[in-house]
Amino acid sequence: MKHVKVIATNTICKEKGTGCGECQTGCQSACKTSCTVGNQSCEQKKTNRNTKVKQD
Amino acid sequence: MVHVFKCLGRHFALDVESGSLFEVDELTADLIEKRSPLAKAKGDFSRYSETEIAEAEREIDELVKSGVLFTPAPVHPEPVYKGVVKALCLNIAHGCNLRCRYCFAGDGQYHGSVDFMSPETAIKAIDFLIAKSGTRKRLEVDFFGGEPLLNMKAVRAAIDHARAVEKQAGKEFRFTITTNASLLTDELIEYFNREMYNVVLSIDGRKDVHDYMRPTASGEGSFDKALENSLKLVRARGDKSYYVRGTFTSRNLDFAKDVLALNDYGFGQVSLEPVVLPSDDPLALKEEHIETLKEQYEILAREYISRRASGKEFGFFHFNIDIYNGPCASKRLVGCNAGDEYLAVAPNGNIYPCHRFDGMEDYIIGNVCDGNFDETLPNLFATTNLTKKEGCNDCWAKYYCSGGCAANSIQICGGIKKQYKLGCELMKKRVECALAIGAIESGEQQ
């Protein structure tokens, strides 16, 4: 692709079996006032979530 | 929904529902924007050739066809209350040896009198957590205050008890302590580095900023001791998690300097949070500060990339978004889970939705000592996830902030479904910076 650089695709996992609740509670890490959930880690450490899009 | 944004001099497109992220040229950014149903302006394309426009349009079409752009919003399941608790904040001490000017807890006393949790109550809190945790294996306990080091007897009792029973209960406890570091000793550093999964050390940045905002009870600055002790702890901590965490106020709108100062002192993991105060407080952040603060995040992001590229350890909590493997969709709908899976316990055993509600009589859920537990509030908090909050469904940042902080909504805006708009604006800028940093750094690694 000439105009688009694909950085990451389909990173919000909606697979069945997720939502196990084992990940860290947002407020316990550092913020205590302005929760950022996007930077929490998944305890299941799935590595194959990305479905690749062909990039020329 | 697609969010097109410019950050650090580059153009990006975020497909909100799938989390897909693209770096695009200006033409493509404008063309994607033009396709958005929410687009205000339709763009000026007169400077591009027809061939260029057609080429960019084809690339956009390809992404749409692949299901990674303009992904339709799913119908999320209705939130339900499950009655599971997996994390507790133990307000181990209602009392503090510092007098921070912005303290939401009123000198650590939570608007009451000085009080310390007894070891017996701390043990009961651990038992309460195990009993309420259902099938959850990893349980989290944060020792908070006030200054928890003023009551190490209860901290040790809770940890000893948890360690003694966790295996048999099929649980794994992860402890965090949040401290102003002024009372750390060599023995405590060794103990914390052994027992604490995470340590949060409170320093506000530059010495003059810190000393003004965080004086001791006798009015002296607390910076020198906090820095010396924190460095000692961090240097002995190895690879274990920690954060040096500060607060910025309207008095240091140039807060990027404070984040960088913390990194300069030798801290690799830093967090600096915007203060949350009623708008009539002189230290409160206000709407007129937003643009300045957004610029500060960009300044910080540029320096952040530069320092990391040179090999320096530098993590900033809000820029630490994993653009490839973030949390699952379920997690992104519920956020910090306050009032539901995450609760706070006061020294007298009273249970609150989170540490920010401690001392508010209307928000007492029960007590770990007598076993009372009223499910009304947990039910309300559990069923008010991001899909139920005003304005969140149409916000591009919804899966990164998960609807924001319930305490801010209730205490600053007057309702759990309301949004603390100033916080939203800063959150959105931080997420844009984090995504741009992720994209730029991923390019450098290739």
* pLDDT tens string B347-392: 999 999 999 999 999 999 999 999 999 999 999 999 999 999 999 9
Distance from CA of B29 to the nearest CA of A (A): 9
Return the residue in A33, A42, A43, A46 with the most chain B beta carbons within 10 A, the one to mutate for interface testing. A33
Pick B336's closest partner by Cβ from A10, A18, A35.
A35
Return the residue in A20, A23, A34 with the most chain B beta carbons within 10 A, the one to mutate for interface testing. A34
Could A38 and B400 be called an inter-chain contact, meaning their C-beta atoms sit closer than 8 Å? Answer: yes
Is the per-residue pLDDT at A52 higher than 70? no
Could B325 and A49 be called an inter-chain contact, meaning their C-beta atoms sit closer than 8 Å? Answer: yes
How many Å apart are CA B406 and CA B413, to the nearest integer? 10
Is the per-residue pLDDT at B434 higher than 90? yes
pLDDT class for A12, splitting at 50, 70, 90? Answer: confident
Is the per-residue pLDDT at B238 higher than 70? yes
Could B24 and A3 be called an inter-chain contact, meaning their C-beta atoms sit closer than 8 Å? Answer: yes
Cβ-contact B45, B63 below 8 angstroms:
no
pTM above 0.95, yes or no: no
Q: Name the closest residue on chain A to residue B197, using Cα atoms.
A: A29
* pLDDT tens string B391-415: 999 999 999 988 888 998 998 899 9
> Lowest mean pLDDT: which of A14-28, B308-322, B410-424?
A14-28
Cβ-contact B247, B275 below 8 angstroms:
yes
Kindly give, in sequence order, each residue whose CB lies less than 8 Å from that of residue B216, ignoring residues fewer than 6 positions away. Answer: B97, B98, B99, B182, B222
| Torsion of the alpha carbons at B247, B426, A22 and B77, rounded to the nearest 10 | 150
Q: Name the closest residue on chain A to residue B402, using Cα atoms.
A: A37
Could B332 and A12 be called an inter-chain contact, meaning their C-beta atoms sit closer than 8 Å? Answer: yes
Q: Name the closest residue on chain A to residue B328, using Cα atoms.
A: A13
Could A42 and B325 be called an inter-chain contact, meaning their C-beta atoms sit closer than 8 Å? Answer: yes
Q: If you ran DSSP here, which 8-state letter would residue B338 be given? A: B
CA atoms within 13 A on the CB side of B37: 4
Pick A42's closest partner by Cβ from B27, B328, B439.
B328
pLDDT class for A56, splitting at 50, 70, 90? Answer: very low
How many Å apart are CA B205 and CA B186, to the nearest integer? 23
Could B18 and A41 be called an inter-chain contact, meaning their C-beta atoms sit closer than 8 Å? Answer: no
Kindly give, in sequence order, each residue whose CB lies less than 8 Å from that of residue B365, ignoring residues fewer than 6 positions away. Answer: B339, B343, B351, B352, B353, B373, B374, B377, B378
Is the per-residue pLDDT at A26 higher than 80? no
Pick B24's closest partner by Cβ from A4, A47, A49.
A4
pLDDT class for A53, splitting at 50, 70, 90? Answer: very low
Is the per-residue pLDDT at B435 higher than 50? yes
Residue B224: the pLDDT is 98
Tokens of B228: 């010396």
For residue B11, the one-letter residue type is H
Q: Name the closest residue on chain A to residue B439, using Cα atoms.
A: A7
Residue A18: the pLDDT is 66
Kindly give, in sequence order, each residue whose CB lies less than 8 Å from that of residue B392, ignoring residues fewer than 6 positions away. Answer: B386, B398, B403, B404, B419
Q: Name the closest residue on chain A to residue B432, using Cα atoms.
A: A38
Is the per-residue pLDDT at B1 higher than 90? yes
The mean of the pLDDT values for chain A is 66
* pLDDT tens string B138-161: 999 999 999 999 999 999 999 999
Q: Name the closest residue on chain A to residue B76, using Cα atoms.
A: A14
Tokens of B374: 């009223």
Residue B417: the pLDDT is 94
Report ipTM (2 d.p.): 0.91
- Three-state DSSP state, B127: helix
Enumerate long-range contacts of B31-38, CB under 8 Å, 24 or more apart.
Answer: B31/B56, B31/B57, B31/B60, B32/B2, B32/B4, B32/B60, B32/B69, B33/B4, B35/B2, B35/B60, B35/B70, B36/B1, B36/B2, B36/B4, B38/B1, B38/B394
Is the per-residue pLDDT at B31 higher than 90? yes
pLDDT class for A44, splitting at 50, 70, 90? Answer: confident
Could B329 and A18 be called an inter-chain contact, meaning their C-beta atoms sit closer than 8 Å? Answer: yes
Tokens of B381: 């908090």
How many Å apart are CA A9 and CA B64, to the nearest integer? 12
A40 vs B contacts (CB less than 8 Å) = 326-327, 331
Pick A36's closest partner by Cβ from B27, B136, B400.
B400
Is the per-residue pLDDT at B21 higher than 70? yes
Q: Name the closest residue on chain B to residue A34, using Cα atoms.
A: B405
How many Å apart are CA B408 and CA B104, to the nearest integer? 11
Could B140 and A38 be called an inter-chain contact, meaning their C-beta atoms sit closer than 8 Å? Answer: no
User: Which residue has better confidence, A29 or B38?
Assistant: B38
* pLDDT tens string B302-352: 999 999 999 999 999 999 888 888 888 888 888 888 999 999 999 999 999
Pick B327's closest partner by Cβ from A8, A29, A42.
A42
β A4-8/B20-24 pair status: antiparallel
Number of H helices, E strands in chain B: 14, 14
Is the per-residue pLDDT at B228 higher than 80? yes
pLDDT class for B110, splitting at 50, 70, 90? Answer: confident
Pick B342's closest partner by Cβ from A2, A25, A46.
A25
Could B274 and A23 be called an inter-chain contact, meaning their C-beta atoms sit closer than 8 Å? Answer: no
Is the per-residue pLDDT at B436 higher than 90? yes
* pLDDT tens string B175-227: 999 999 999 999 999 999 999 999 999 999 999 999 999 999 999 999 999 99
pLDDT class for A55, splitting at 50, 70, 90? Answer: very low
Question: Which residue reads 């300069």 in tokens?
Answer: B264
Return the residue in B22, B82, B176 with the most chain A beta carbons within 10 A, the one to mutate for interface testing. B22
* pLDDT tens string B248-283: 999 999 999 999 999 999 999 999 999 999 889 999
CA dist B309 → A5, B256, B441 (Å): 21, 18, 8
Cβ-contact B106, B114 below 8 angstroms:
no
Cβ-contact B301, B9 below 8 angstroms:
no
Phi and psi at residue B54, to the nearest 5°: -60, -40
> Lowest mean pLDDT: which of A45-54, B55-64, B71-80, B117-126?
A45-54
Residue A47: the pLDDT is 39
Is the per-residue pLDDT at A38 higher than 90? no
